[in-house]
Amino acid sequence: MSEASPFLLVSFHESKERKKIDFMPVIIISAAIAAIFAIGFIIFIIDDITTIANLQVAEAAAEGVTVNDIQGLAKMRDNLTGIVTRIVDGDTLDVRIDRIITDVRFALVDTPERGEAGYKKAKDFLEDRCPVGSTVLVDPDNGQNLSFDGIVGVVYCYDATDDANTDNRDDNDRMINLSDALLDHDLAKPVTKYCNTSEFSYREWIKDQCNGGNPLSSSSSNITTD
């Protein structure tokens, strides 16, 4: 068997080296394209977050709430701010939070369902005090969870029937607890079966009705920014 000529061996090795080198530009270009896409995605996410924040401020400003109000509300631990988009009934609102419409069910209170006596009165009460377009503060009940995509919590709103609120929108203490207001006007009944799980069981507005429940929290019902 004849040996391969030195010329053929050299040519073979040169060909292999050329093939290795030919792939380098492809690898470099692919890496560059991947980096560009990654940077673009990061910029998109940052821009979207900024847009959401600006939208919330713009929507609030349209309702007469200042940027300082929103910043004050944002300091409240675990609380959410949003815009009312629909009054579902006397104890449920649809609220736009971060551009997502969320059902918000009032904790520890229940108003009549559609077709029951008192349904319209409770709904009208809510529409008068916290109409569509109002800015609300939602304090989720960490002890209760809904079986659907919604929130159980206490909702605070500037009372639209109180003329004093027109000139005092910078005072968060002027926001009313809608659950408490419904109970005060005998438009809702307390739902005591959740007293053992709700974090609001010992709040001033419901503690007597819960009558010694086993709450997760014993803090006051007043709004605080601490």
Q: Which amino acid is at 74?
A: A
> How far, in Å, CA of 90 to CA of 41, rounded?
43
pLDDT band at 113, cuts 50/70/90? Answer: very high
- Burial letters 195-207, b for 16+ CB under 10 A, else e: bebbbbbbbebbb
Specify the 3-state DSSP secondary structure of 47.
helix
Determine which of 7-16, 60-69, 78-87, 102-111 has the lowest per-residue pLDDT on average.
60-69
Structure-token pair, residue 173: 């203490």
Compute the average pLDDT of residues 36-61: 59
pLDDT at residue 91 is higher than 90: yes
Determine which of 14-28, 72-86, 89-103 has the lowest per-residue pLDDT on average.
14-28
> How far, in Å, CA of 141 to CA of 8, rounded?
81
Which pLDDT does position 162 carry in this prediction? 80
Specify the 3-state DSSP secondary structure of 54.
helix
Structure-token pair, residue 108: 């520890």
Residue 79, Cβ neighbours under 10 Å: how many?
Answer: 17
> How far, in Å, CA of 89 to CA of 133, rounded?
16
pLDDT at residue 71 is higher than 60: no
Better pLDDT: 193 or 45: 193
pLDDT band at 44, cuts 50/70/90? Answer: low
112 closest CA partner among 183, 185, 194, 188: 188
Which pLDDT does position 174 carry in this prediction? 75
86 neighbors 168 (Cβ within 8 angstroms): no
In this predicted model, what pLDDT tens digit does every residue of 124-161 receive, in sequence order? 999 999 999 999 999 999 887 665 568 999 999 998 88
Instruction: Give the DSSP H or E segment for 180.
Output: helix 178-184
DSSP class of residue 80 equals: E
